[in-house]
Amino acid sequence: MHIAGRDEFFRLQKDSKSSQIQRIVNNIFFHIQPLNDRYPLRNFAQNVLARFREQIAIDWNKKYKESIIGFETLVELPRTGEVYKRDGWTEVGQTIGYTCKRVAGKGTDSWTGKRVWNTTELRPKRVFCRNL
C-alpha cells in the first residue's frame, strides 16, 4: 500500500487510492537465465517485458473488467534495474527495506496467519514504475 514514489508517479489521490492501486500491476519477480550462456535474441529480457505488459493488460481487463493504469516493480540492491530502464520504466524511489513473512497463528485482521515484520535485517529495494 505504501511504496516510495509510486503515489506521486501515478498521481494517486488519497480519497480514491485503494481503488486506484488495484489497477497497478506489480511485477513481483522477473528473472531470465540464459540457455547455454546465450539468449535467443538481442534485448531478449526487454522484449519479454514488453510482451508481458501487452498481455497482462488484456488478461487483467478480461478477468477484472477494469483497465490497468500502469506497472510497478521492486529491484533488490545492488541490482540497478537496467532492463526496466531500457523498457521505459522510471525509478521513483527506494524502500526502507522491511520484510514481512507469515507464520502460523491467528492474525489480527482477515489474513490467515500472523504477519511478522523483520526490522533487524533491512533489504532496501529500488522502486520502478511505468505507465500503460
pLDDT (tens digit, 0 to 9) for every residue of the chain, 132 residues total? 678 799 999 999 888 888 888 999 988 777 777 888 888 888 888 898 999 999 999 999 999 999 999 999 999 899 999 999 999 999 999 988 776 666 666 666 665 556 665 566 788 899 999 998
Determine the Cα–Cα distance for residues 81 and 64; give it in Å rounded to an integer: 29
CB 74 within 8 A of CB 65: no
CB 32 within 8 A of CB 50: no
**Domains in the chain: boundaries:** 6-96+124-131
Residue 16, pLDDT score: 83
Residue 70, pLDDT score: 96
Could you list the beta-strand ranges (E) of 1-132.
24-26, 70-76, 90-94, 99-106, 112-118, 125-131
Taking the domain 6-96+124-131, which CATH number applies? 3.40.630
